Structure 1
Amino acid sequence: MEAEERAAEHDGEREMTVDELAARVGITVRNVRAYAARGLLPPPRLVGRTGYYGPEHVARLLLVREMLAEGYSLAVIERTLATAPAVGGSATLALHRALLAPWLPPEPEETTAEELAARAGVPVDPATVDEMVRLGLVERLDDGRLRVTDPPLLTAGLQVVRLGVPPSALIAAQARVIELVREIAATYVGMYVETGWRALFAEGSPPDQLDRVRAVVDRLQPAAAQALLASFRTEMAAAVGAAVEAELGALAEE
């Protein structure tokens, strides 16, 4: 991979046709077009009906090929590249992947509103599906099916619904949880940027510190999750205790 990245850099600003691009990366033209259709490549520069590709396209295709070889699905690769800079070179994309990939949710699943309702043991409710779409919990596909963006989160939600909690109440609660978790994530990332990030790159540029970045992210993910879960357990115990005390007190007064 490193040799290929150096070769891509030596290409400079030289532009290629789709056939030349495919040959340069070692994949078929058909696959290049398929990856482009999924949004994995930025649009080429068009001259008439001919598209011309540059080093940024080579860098992206090399990353796609590498991640596929490591067992990542196209869906995960698509999410990894969704926020990557369109003109990023190989080193920039490698850094982007190292920082983002460990935090991505598992592989999405496809289902239908009817299947979700059956799993939850409740009637189909279009309004509930609309709210799930609004929150980003599911996405509508062109064929009318639904893509579940985070299957473990959905499974946990279905378990709560089967306990008797109305889907509308659970979704309202989840909307609030998402807001709070977003604040927590911003707090952790802000802390890391202000301390670990700057210290990490004090001795060199980010691409030069790629191995250190990967090592830090691999350690940061479980540490942050463990700290969050520990805090949640403590606060949940306090909240449950207070709720039980209040409810028992109300019963005693009756």
Structure 2
Amino acid sequence: MSQEVAQTTKIAIFRNRKIRKTIHKNEWWFVIVDVVAALTDSIQPDGYIKDMRRRDPELSKGWGQIAIPLSVQTSGGMQKLNCANTEGIFRIIQSIPSPKAEPFKRWLARIGYERVQEIEDPELAQKRARALYKLKGYPEDWIERRMRSIAIREELTDEWQKHGVELAKEYEILTAEISRATFGMTPSEHKKIKGLKRENLRDHMSDLELLFSQLGEAATTEITKTEHPHGFERNKRVSRRGGKIAGDARSNLEKETGRKVITSQNYLPKKQSEKLLKK
């Protein structure tokens, strides 16, 4: 996949502070404002960065090489945020007087080492994902289905990339087309039903929701492999057709059982889930 599309936003934790990171050129790139906020406890990290660059002319001079805008998942959807790799973050840290600097450097080194391991042995990423889901309390059979859904999704995005889909926004739209045809709603609408905000929708799907999501994407993959549509618009039409296959199956099941597949069920901690659903 292209670097623009291959980016996957993850959350790393440093001393209870969330730091978003994304893959670019086979290494982790970290959202700079998150790093600055974690090191300084500043409530206005953007302002701190401006002041920091004024204080350090050399840093400001090389800022264009250090900070690269990358697509990162935010509460408002995918947005371009300034990110830096490990080397760039080390340079930024030099301009931040903070007792957290040395522990943060060690933390960064560990994160980077894990990424190198995953490149050399892709199964490690899956093992870590499984372990994380277990720690969160997900049942083993659900974890198995979730890992399968990740594999199906990766195969689909690989096919999209081969067939001329290039931008992250295009991937987002194609995904929404499959979802609309499968469930009668977009992922953002689906998240509202579940009371989710920044959380990954698929991490909160029921078994049936995961199943039909997989079917829609697997069907789209197979049609794409057969017909070789090129470009965004043609892949958009194929996405609707693939999603419709899953949507028809969902409708048939709902008619037979008298129950909706879409559910407000999620895997949020109980109190948080109840609070969000009441809003």
The TM-score normalised by the length of structure 1 is 0.29
Would you tell me which structure has more strand in proportion to its own residues? 2
Q: Return the TM-score normalized by structure 2.
A: 0.27
Q: Please identify which structure carries the higher helix content.
A: 1
